[in-house]
Structure 1
C-alpha cells in the first residue's frame, strides 16, 4: 500500500507540475503581449505581497501535518478530529487577518509601488487576485494538509491540474477579446474555488472526521514551534520580489518573474517527484522503523542530489536561450541577464539540495530545536538583498538568496547527522563532491552548444542535446562513485525489460 500510494502521489504530482509549468509559461507571455512588462510586473508583485500573508500561518501547517502522522498510523479518528478542529479554528482566524491585510494593501500598496497605475486600477486588481487566498485559508488548507499526511496527495493534484488548464484556456479567450487584466484575474480566482470544495467532499466520503470535535488539551502540541521554519520559507520565496518592488522598478520585477518562472517551474517539477516521501518518512519515523528509514533516506539523498544536478544543470545552460526565445519581440525591458540567470539557477538548486535534510527535520518534529538556523537564513537573505539591490539590482537580490540557501543546506545536513538518523556527514560531503565534479565537467561540454536561431524548435533541439550530455556525464561519474546504486537501477531496468517481453 505504501508503494502504491507513493507511485500515485508522485505520478499525479508530476502531472500537476508539468501542467503548472506549461500553463505558467503560456499565461505570462499572453499578459506580456497584451498588457506589457509593467502590468506583468504589477501582477507578480501583488501576488508576492499576498503570498506574504501565509507568513501569518507561522508554520502551523507543517506542524499540523507532522501531528497527523501518528494518529493516522494508529487509525485514531478522535485524535485526528481534534487536530483538524484545532487547525480549522486557527486558520479561520488567519482568514480574518488576511481580510484586514488586504484592506491595508488597498490603502498603502499603490503608494509603495513606483508605477503609473492609479488607485482604482491597482485596488481592483488586488481584490480580484486575493479572493482565492481568502477561500483557501478559510476551509481549504486543512483538508490539503490532512490528505498529504494520509499519503493521498493525489486527490488534490487532479482537480488542481484541471483548474489550471481551465484557467489558462479562459484567460486566453478573455485576453484575445480585449478583457481587462482585472476581469481575467477575477475569473481565475473563481475557478480556483472549485478545488477546496472537491477536497471537502472527498474527505467526508472516505473519513469519519468530526470538524467540531471537543478537546480539553491542545491537540497540536508544537503549534507555535514551526514559526522560524515558516518565516524562513516565506522570506526565501518572497524577499526578492518585495525588495525589487520597493527599491527598484516594476520592469525589474517583470524581468525577475520571467527567470523565476523558469527556475520555479523546474524546482516545483523536481519537488513533485518527492511529494510522497515526506509522508512516508514521517510514518517510518512515527513507527520507529529506523533500519528501513535509513535505507530509504540513503536512496532519497542520492536521488535528490543526482536529480538536482541534472535538472538545474540543464536549466543553467538552457535558461538564457529560452528567455531569448520567450521574450522575442518584447522590447520595453532588457530580459537578457546572463549573470543573474546563473545566480538564480544555483540558488534554487540549493533549495532542492536541502530537501532530504529539511524533510527529515519536519518528519521528526524538530521545530523548536532548529529555529536558529531558519531565523539566521531569513535575516541574512533580507539584509544582503536590501543592501545589494541598489548597487547590483537583480543580481543583488539573487546573491542574498544564494548565500542564505548555502548556509541552510549545510546546517541542516550537519543537524540531521548529529541529532536525527545519525546519517554520517562524510556521506553528505562525498555527495557534494560528486555534484560539483559533475557540474564542472558537464557544463564545460554543454557550454559549447549554441542556439542556432531564436525559435522554439531550435531551443528544443538544443535542450535535447544538452540533456543527453548531462545524462551521460552523470551516469559515468556515478558509476565510479555510486556503483552499487547504478547497478541496482540497471538490474531493475533489466527486470522490467524481461517482464515486458
Structure 2
C-alpha cells in the first residue's frame, strides 16, 4: 500500500506540474502580447508581494504536517483532531492578518512602483488577485496538510490540475474578448475558490475528525520551531522580484518572470517527483526503521543529484533559445540575457540538489536544531541580492540566491552526516565531484549547439539533440562512478517492461 500511495502521489504531482508548466507559458504570453512587458511585470510583482503573506505562516504548516505523521500511523483520531483544530485556529488568525496586509498593500503599493499606472488601476488589480490567497489560509490549508501527511496528496494535486486547466481556458477567452487585466485576475481568484471548498468536503467524508474538540495544552509540538526554515524558504524562493521592484524596474521584473517561468517550471516538475518522499521518510522515521530509511536515502540522494544535473544541464543550454522563441515579436524589453540565464539556472539547480537533505530534516522534525542555517541563508540572500542588484541588475539577484543555495546545501549535507542519519560525508563529496565532472563534460559536448530557426519546431529539434547528448554524458559518467546504481535503475526499467 505504501508503494502504491507513493506512485499515486508522484504521478498526480507530476501531471499537475506538467499542466502548470504548459498553462504557465500560455497565460503570460497572452498577457505580454495584449498588455505589454510593464503590465506583466506589475502582475508578477504583485504576485510576489502577496506571497510574502506565507512568510507569516512562520513554518507552522510544515510542523503541522510533521506532527501528523505518528498519530496517522497509530490511527489516533483524537490526537489528529486536536492537531487540525489547533492548526485551523492559527490559520484563521493568519487570514485576518492577510486581510489587513492586503488593505495596506492596496493603499501604499501603487505609490512604490516605478510605472505610470493610476492608484485605482493598481489597487483593483491587487484586490482581484488577493481573493484566492485569503481563501487558501481561511479554508483549505489544514485539509491540504492532513491529506499530504497521510500520503493522500494526490487528492489535492488532482483538484489543482482541474482548476488550473479551467482557469487557463477562462482567462484566455477573456483576454481574447478584450477584458481588462483586473477581470482576468478576478476570474482566476473565483475559480481557485472551489479548490479549498472541495478539499474541505473530501476530508469531512473520509476522516473521523472532531472539528469542535477541546484540548488542554498545545497538541502541536515544536509549533514555532519551523520559523527559520520557513522564512528561509520564502526569502530564497520569493524575494528576487520584490528586490527588482524596489531597486530596479517593472521591465526587469517582467524579464525575470519569463526566465522564472522556465526555471521554476523545471524546478517544480523535478520537485513533484519527490513529493511523496517526505511523507514516506516521515513514516519510516516515526516507525524508527533506520535501516530502511538509510537504504532509501542512499538511492534518493543519487537520483536527485543525477536528475538535477541532467535536467538543469539541458535547461542551461536551452533556456535562452526558448526565450528567443517565446518573446519573438515583443520588443519593449531585452529578454535575451544569457549570463543571467546561466546564474539563474545554477541557483535553481542548487534548490533541487539540497532536496534530499532538506526532506530528511523536515521528515524527522529537526526544526529547532537546524534553524540557524536557515536564518543565515535567508539573510545572506537578501543582503547579497540588494548589494548586487544596483551594480549587476538581474544577474545580481540571481547571484545572491545562488551563493545562499550553495551555502545551505553544503550545511544540510554536513548536518545530515553528523547528527541525523549518519550519512558519510565522503559520499556527498564524491557526488559533488561527479556533478561538476558531468557539467563540464556536458557543456563541452553541447557548446556549439545553436538555434537555427526561431520557431517552436526549431527549438524542439534543438532540445532533442541537447537532451540526447546530455543523457549520453550522464550515462557514461555515472557508469564510471556509480556502476551499481546505474545497473539497478536499468534492471528496474527492464523488469517493468
TM-score class, shorter: over 0.9
Q: What does residue 200 of structure 2 align with?
A: 200
Q: What TM-score results when the alignment is normalised by the length of structure 2?
A: 0.99
Gaps of 5+ in 2: none
Q: CA deviation at 1:486?
A: 1.1
C-alpha deviation, 1:239, in angstroms: 1.4
The residue number in structure 1 matching 2:287 is: 287
- For residue 201 of structure 1, report the CA deviation from its aligned partner: 1.4
In 1, the alpha carbon distance for the partners of 2:276 and 2:174 equals 37
Per-residue Cα deviation, 1:347-388 (whole angstroms, up to 9, x for no partner): 000000000000001111111111110010011111111111
1:376 equivalenced with 2:376 (yes/no):
yes
In the alignment, which residue of structure 2 is the partner of 1:20?
20
Query: What TM-score do the two structures reach when normalised by structure 1?
Result: 0.99
For 2:398 and 2:236, the matched residues in 1 are separated by 10
> Where do residues 71-86 of structure 1 align in structure 2 (5 Å cutoff)?
71-86=71-86
Q: How large is the Cα RMSD of the aligned pairs?
A: 0.6
Matches within 5 A, 1:54-203: 54-203=54-203
Shift of 1:447: 1.8
Who is 1:412 aligned against?
412
Q: Which residue of 1 aligns with 2:303?
A: 303
Distance, in Å, in 2 between the alignment partners of 1:462 and 1:114 is 38
- Residues 121-161 of structure 1 show CA distances to partners (whole Å, capped at 9, x for unaligned) of 00000000000000000011111111110000000011110
1:138-190 alpha-carbon deviations (Å, 9 max, x no partner):
01111111111000000001111011111111111100010000000001100
Structure 2 counterpart SS, 1:20 = helix
What do residues 394-451 of structure 1 show as CA deviations (whole Å, max 9, x unaligned)? 0111110000000000000000000110000111111111111111101111121111
Q: What per-residue deviation string (whole Å, max 9, x for no partner) do you get for residues 190-219 of structure 1?
A: 000111111111111111011221110100
Aligned pairs, number: 497
- Residue 494 of structure 1 deviates from its aligned partner by 2.4
Q: Is 1:426 equivalent to 2:412 in the alignment?
A: no
Partner of 1:488: 488
| 2-structure distance, mates of 1:348, 1:494 | 32
SS, match of residue 452 in structure 1: coil
- Match of 2:239, SS state, is helix
| Unaligned stretches of 5+ residues in structure 1 | none
Aligned residue runs from structure 1 range 203-352, under 5 A:
203-352=203-352
Matches of 2:297 and 2:396 in 1, distance apart? 35
What does residue 367 of structure 2 align with? 367
What is the match of residue 9 of structure 2?
Answer: 9
State the Cα distance separating 1:330 from its structure 2 match.
Answer: 0.4
Structure 2 CA distance for aligned equivalents of residues 212 and 381 of structure 1: 42
CA distance, structure 2, for counterparts of residue 496 and residue 109 of structure 1? 55
Task: Name the residue aligned to 1:33.
Answer: 33
Q: Which residue of 2 aligns with 1:452?
A: 452
1:495 shift after superposition: 2.0
SS of the residue aligned with 2:61? helix
What's 1:356 paired with? Answer: 356
Deviation track 1:221-269 (CA, whole Å, cap 9, x = no partner) reads 1110000000001111121101100011000000000001100000000
Q: How far apart, in 2, do the equivalents of 1:493 and 1:406 lie?
A: 33
